Amino acid sequence: MNEYNSTNHCKYSIKYHLVWCPKFRFEVLNGDIALSLKDIIINICNRYNYKILELEVMPDHIHIFVSARPTVAPTDIVRTIKSISAIKLFKEHPKLKIFYDRCGSLWSKGYFVDTVGNANIETIRNYIKNQNLK
């Protein structure tokens, strides 16, 4: 987990903990739907070069711990996964589409994001404060 990734001009370690829910937080992510959703998310992340560090589908929300390039905003990760997964889930599970027909969408608009780093806040603050002392 302490590994760094590289591009031509950048070395980075960017990790996000993302959480979002189905509309109205209905408990619809069960059984075959949950299994399909995991596969769909894994495929999306592979396609867009997001590295999944951990993924769990709960009946009423999703947790994903993901690493991405510094040029990719967390909102883009969420938007990409939500939009593609909804389309594919509705195609694979027509009953889910019928259930959400009145709403027009599977996912709620909001999401939670937290950055996760290798160093804690105090370590970084002290490092920056002590730069002029060297």
pLDDT of 16 strictly over 60: yes
Q: What is the predicted pLDDT for the residue at 134?
A: 58
Q: What is the predicted pLDDT for the residue at 27?
A: 95
Give φ, ψ of 28 to 5 degrees. Answer: -110, -5
Residue 95, classified by CB atoms within 10 Å of its CB into exposed (0-12), middle (13-18) or buried (19+), is: exposed
Q: What is the predicted pLDDT for the residue at 116?
A: 82
List the domains of the chain with CATH numbers: 11-133 (3.30.70.1290)
Q: What is the predicted pLDDT for the residue at 103?
A: 83
Which residue type, as a one-letter code, is found at position 82?
Answer: K
* Residues 82-132 pLDDT 10s: 999 999 999 999 999 999 988 889 999 999 999 987 777 777 778 767 876
* Residues 18-57 pLDDT 10s: 999 999 999 999 999 999 999 999 999 999 999 999 999 9
* Residues 56-94 pLDDT 10s: 999 999 999 999 999 999 999 999 999 999 999 999 999
Q: What is the predicted pLDDT for the residue at 128?
A: 66
- Tell me if residue 1 falls in helix, strand or coil: coil
pLDDT of 1 strictly over 60: no
Catalytic residue among 16, 50, 111, 127: 127
Q: How far is CA 103 from CA 17, 98, 107, in A?
A: 27, 10, 10
Is 127 among the residues known to form the active site? yes
What span, in angstroms and rounded, lies between the C-alpha atoms of 85 and 44?
A: 8
